[in-house]
Amino acid sequence: MPENIRLRRPVSGTHSSQAQHISSSCVTNVRPAHHLTNTRTAGTTMFKVAASVALVAGAEAAEWVYANPGAVAADRAAQEATWGGLCATGREQSPINIDTHNTFRGPLPAIETHIDASASYVKNTGHGFQLFETSPLLHNLTDSGVDSIEGSSKGHSMFGEDKYNFYQVHWHSPSENTVDGKFYPLEAHFVHQLDDPGLVGGYHRLAVIGVMYELGECNEFLDQFWDEFPREAGTAPLNGANIDLNTKLA
């Protein structure tokens, strides 16, 4: 099923130390760009590409990696060996390099974000830094682990006429997607899934909004929680941060 990815105009103000923090905590968490065979459409402030998401039995059975143990940079061969299937061979996969000289302007459905979620903890997945679980439900950090809150919601975004529930946001350093071959020091992925109970727990009908970061003196949004991420895989409580994710996607 298609995965929709929108790349927002780069925002400034991420510290170089913030990118170094994520890189020092886990192997550089990027995948090589794939070259699309379908048409790409560029809007004035965002790009939309179509991509396929497929998981095969072999990829699900083994732990996927960005690089082999001991590596300090992402490695294509290691990824192709552990991701498998279309994740390695597909021609309509993300991430991609967007060639702005080979695009045309066209109408894109508006995105309206209605995210309402308070983060009570942060997590290092072992692959990257993340706020919230990959689920439509909110979770609490307890002495026994992470527990879901039944009946809760983190809000949603409207992609045109389609409602996609917000799940989580995570970061890649450097960016996974590139523009004219340029990597950005940091990229955030705001992950959503189509509002359909039958899809929950799977990887189909995802929608991801990507936000690129450029280096700058400070970033008030990231400064609210960035230093709280644990250096090793695990979770840590987050106190006093009332994070409005809508401000990053407006």
- The per-residue pLDDT for range 176-230, each reduced to its tens digit, is 999 999 999 999 999 999 999 999 999 899 999 999 999 988 888 899 899 999 9
Smallest CA-to-CA distance from 213 within 54, 30, 66, 18 is with 18
Predicted confidence at residue 30, as pLDDT, reads 64
Confidence of residue 172 (pLDDT cuts 50, 70, 90): very high
Q: Does domain 2-249 have CATH number 3.10.200.10?
A: yes
What CA–CA distances, in Å, run from 236 to 120, 149, 153, 186? 9, 18, 21, 22
Decide: 65 and 79 in contact? Cβ < 8 Å.
Answer: yes
Residue 53 pLDDT greater than 50, yes or no: no
pTM: 0.76
**Average pLDDT of 25-34?**
58
Integer Cα distance of 120 and 240 in angstroms: 8
Predicted confidence at residue 48, as pLDDT, reads 31
Predicted confidence at residue 189, as pLDDT, reads 95
**Average pLDDT of 21-39?**
52
